[in-house]
Structure formats: structure tokens, C-alpha cells
Amino acid sequence: MAKTTQVISVFLIGHMGLIFFFYPGQIIEGVEISHWVPIVTSFLFYFVIITVYMKGLSYFDNLNVIQIFQEMGKPAAIILLLPLAVYLVSVSIVTFRAYSEVIRIIFLTSTPIWAVMLLLIAISSYIAFLGLEAIFRTSVLLVFLGTPIVLFILASSFQNVDWHYLFPLLDKKVISFSFLFTPAYMNSLLSLGGGFLFLGFIQPYITYKSSSVRRAYFILLPMLLISVYIPILTFGRNTAVLFSLPFIETAETIEINWLMFDRISMFFMICLISFVMLFLALLLWKTALIIRVAVPVKQGTILLPLTIIIFTISMLIPDWHTVERFFLINTIFRVYAMLIIPALMLILGIRHSKKAGVKA
């Protein structure tokens, strides 16, 4: 039974939780003016990757990535999936550590970071342990409850903008696309690269219409533009670049007199944290599924040691600067996940189609 609505919900909230957190700071740091150029470039590049990925998957009859690789033999499947597992674990570590830091700063200032991380990872692991159905049903509930709050805060964030900061719209240096090779721009792809791979893991457990997912993807473009331009239009680029979390800092400036709450940004962060916990649960579920290829035990048995490993490594990260360096360390695995895996899916799909045609 197709559950396209649930798939789209997971797709959107996973990206939303990362975009407003990681993406603005990296783009603002990497480009001085005409920020829409790298944003649109990322958007189009990502759209091509998703299209290639889903096109390759479409050649197989409701098989997931792991089952497709296993048709090449177990050793080949392990070799191809190992870098992907490392990437998923690294994304989990960075996200756990970064969001725990923000939760402690905004909500639990006197709470030690290990306690915040333990709470965050325990909830995500529990959701992952409940299984894929629980993750996808929860996503619909979060979209229903969180989307109105997020849209209200996004609309309110325009109250302090200065439209003069929008110009110049086009710069010769940006048109040269030199930003493509900057570390900041490469790091910004984390906000996009981790959110589409699940589309190749959920079948045959959950089926969906790929055309609907591609149409839903266009909702991400205004999110990307707003997440970057609101901080720039509020503070100016020279000030916004000083913030580690530009959009969160902008949300702190929102003042609505008729609301009884002083800090509306807290509601925004609660929504993002809820989205990210579900995203992290899905990361854990995918990683456990990959590990089962080499270690054929129950998925729930894998989740506990996996959670302990991620928690331990996250505890070894001392500060935010180390988190940013961690972005660069996993660049090779990020490129593998975003480029090699979709390309492999398409190549294997075309070969599978030709073999099926010959047999017919």
C-alpha cells in the first residue's frame, strides 16, 4: 500500500530540521553577496541527484538499496555499503552534538551537556526501535502540529528586514562559481545530503509515488532562500557571518506584543528539535539495516551498541569548532553518499532493465 503522504512528511521535516540550523551559516560564510546563486545551484544540483537516485530505483520492483547490492553478492554489498554506513553515523554524531549544544544554551542552561545528549539520543533510539511504521506515522503528526508554528514564525521574521541588504543581486565573482570549492559551501551540503537516502531504504516496507516526492521537493527552495536571506536582511551580511546559527539569532529578535510569550524562538526550536529527533531515528534505523548485512541479527539488537558508540564519540567532541572540523572530515563519505550511490543505482538499474529485456 502506497503511503506517499507519510514519505513526503518525513522528507520535508528531515530537511527542515537541518536547513534552518546548519545551512544559513555555511552559505553566508562561503559567499559575500548574491547568495541566491549558490542556493539555487544547490537546489538544482540536489534535484538532479534525487531524480537520478529514484530513476535507478524505479528499474527494480520494490527492492531497496541493500537488496539491490546483495544481488551482486554479500562481499560486494558490504564493500559498497560500508562507506554509506560511516556517513550515516557521522551525520548522526554531528547532529546529536550540535542540537544538544543548542538545547542546553536555549532551554537547559544549567544542565550538563552529557545529560542533554543522553535524553536526545534515548528518544531517537526508542523511536527507531519501534520501527519504520512508527517513524512515518509520527512524521504526519509532527507536520500537522508543527507546520503552523513554523509558518507563523517565518512570516513574523520579516518584521525587522532592511531590503537594501538584498543588493547587489548579481556579482561577477559569484557567477564564476568559485564558491563550489570552498569548505563552507561543501559543508552546507550536509543540510541536503542526508535527507533523501531513506527513499532507497524503505521499500518494500513502504511504497510511494516518486513523482509526488519530486514535486514536494520544490517546497525546499523557499525554505533555503528564507533561511539565508532573513538573517542577511535583518543584520547585514557582515554581522550575520559572525553568528554560528544565523537564523536562530534572527528568530530571537522577533517581537509580537499581543503574544504572552517573550521568546517566540523557543517554539521554533521545539519544532526543529522534534523534526530532528525523527530524522535521527530514521538515520539510526538505516544504519542498523546496513549493519545487518554483515551481522545477521535482529535490528533491535544492533540499535543499543550503535547508540552507545554514537553517544560516546559525541561526548569526545569538546566544542562547536570541532563540530565544524568534523564536517570537513566526512567530506569524502558525503560525496560518496550524494554522488556515487545515486550513480550506482542508475547504472545497476539500466543493467537490470537490459537483462530483463533480453530474458523477455
Interatomic CA distance for residues 63 and 72, integer angstroms: 14
Asked if residue 323 has pLDDT above 80, the reply is: no
The full length of the chain comes to 360
Beta bridge partners of 207: 2
The whole-number pLDDT of residue 36 equals: 86
Do the Cβ atoms of 197 and 337 come closer than 8 Å? yes
Q: Give the confidence band of 154 by pLDDT, cuts at 50, 70, 90.
A: confident
**pTM of the predicted model, to two decimals?**
0.89
- Report the amino acid identity of residue 3: K
Once rounded to an integer, what is the mean pLDDT over residues 145-170? 84
Percent of the chain predicted with pLDDT > 70:
93
**pLDDT: which is higher, 259 or 118:** 118
Q: What are the residue boundaries of the structural domains of the chain, listed by start?
A: 4-359
Mean pLDDT, the chain, as a whole number? Answer: 83
Q: Hey, what CATH topology would domain 4-359 get?
A: Amino acid/polyamine transporter I (1.20.1740)
Average of per-residue pLDDT across 155-166: 85
Residue 144 has pLDDT above 80, yes or no: yes
Summarised one tens digit per residue, pLDDT across range 81-138 is: 898 888 888 888 888 888 888 888 777 778 888 888 888 899 999 998 888 888 888 8
Name the one residue in this structure whose C-alpha cell is 544549567.
110
Residue 60 has pLDDT above 60, yes or no: yes
Alpha-carbon gap, residue 46 to 56, rounded angstroms: 15
Mean pLDDT calculated for residue range 268-273: 85
Q: What are the angstrom distances between the C-alpha of 46 and each of 49, 53, 324?
A: 5, 10, 22
> What are the grid coordinates assigned to 336, written together?
560518496
Report residue 202: phi and psi, to 5°.
-85, -15
| Residue 360 in this model has a pLDDT that exceeds 50 | no
- Select from 181, 139, 162 the least CA-distant residue to 240: 162
Q: What angle do CA 110, 116, 117 make, to 5 degrees?
A: 145
Residue 159 carries which DSSP code? G
Query: Which position has the higher pLDDT, 325 or 251?
Result: 251
CA–CA separation, 251 and 295 (whole Å) = 45
The residue-averaged pLDDT of 29-55 equals 86
